[in-house]
Chains A and B, each alone.
Chain A
């Protein structure tokens, strides 16, 4: 069966450390993978996209990797801050913009 999972429902880390979130999927062949941030009571906000032929993408303190053999993406936030506390969602494009599958999300808490 097709499935997309994120490593844990919640993750607590200390301010200044690197947060690493995991997205695993089975039986999909996505053209690309996206990461979103969602704050309570709000819609998701796009952060990064990585294509199937890319290994790594960076944007400021964010880094995403994509391993299509392992069917896994890792999302890193370096030098984390309390303002990074939010739920982070991964999403697969499984039909070139016509169908997206989202993971359940990981709620990150960065403790001061």
Chain B
């Protein structure tokens, strides 16, 4: 693994189903983030984690949950998907050291909820 990976690449999901988007980084970064990107709205922060064991809510957290059991993994779960959660989801990480927080992004997961 080099950098940050996401799985799956894309997914079509029936409304009401549970879905977990996976994110793994091998840069030993402390901070990780989940964003959704919608046309005309840009990237919006869903949840973040400053370090393993801690998580926080971003701008649009409703309907999503995250966990951070270790440094490398930061899964995003949709407990009961709804069509408004159709979007492209990006995971990102940063070293979290000081205030120089360059973010490294994964390739994204395109999710369609029908």
Contact = CB atoms under 8 A, between A and B. Distances in A.
B71 interface: no
B28 to A, nearest CB: 16
A91 B90 CA distance: 15
Nearest to A2: B59
Interface string B72-114: 0000000000000000001010101001111111111000000
Nearest to B105: A43
B104 A46 contact: yes
A45 B105 contact: yes
Nearest to A4: B42
Given A42-B108, A43-B108, A99 B45 contact: yes
Contacts of B56: 98
Given A43-B90, A43-B108, A97 B102 contact: no
Contact of A99 (B48, B106, B108): B48
Interface stretch (A61-69, A72-80, A100-108): A100-108
A98 B45 CA distance: 10
Q: How large is the interface on B (under 10, 10 to 19, 20 to 34, 35 or more residues)?
A: 20 to 34
Interface residues of A, number: 25
Given A49-B102, A97-B99, A101-B59, A42 B107 contact: yes
A17 B41 CA distance: 29
Contacts of B50: 97-98
18 contacts: A32-B99, A34-B103, A36-B103, A42-B107, A44-B90, A49-B100, A49-B102, A97-B31, A97-B96, A97-B101, A98-B56, A99-B58, A99-B59, A100-B45, A101-B59, A102-B35, A102-B44, A104-B42
Given A41-B108, A89-B43, 17 more contacts: A32-B99, A34-B103, A36-B103, A42-B108, A43-B105, A44-B90, A44-B103, A44-B105, A49-B102, A96-B99, A97-B31, A97-B50, A98-B56, A100-B45, A102-B43, A104-B40, A104-B41
Interface of A: 31-32, 34, 36, 41-46, 49, 51, 89, 91, 93, 96-105
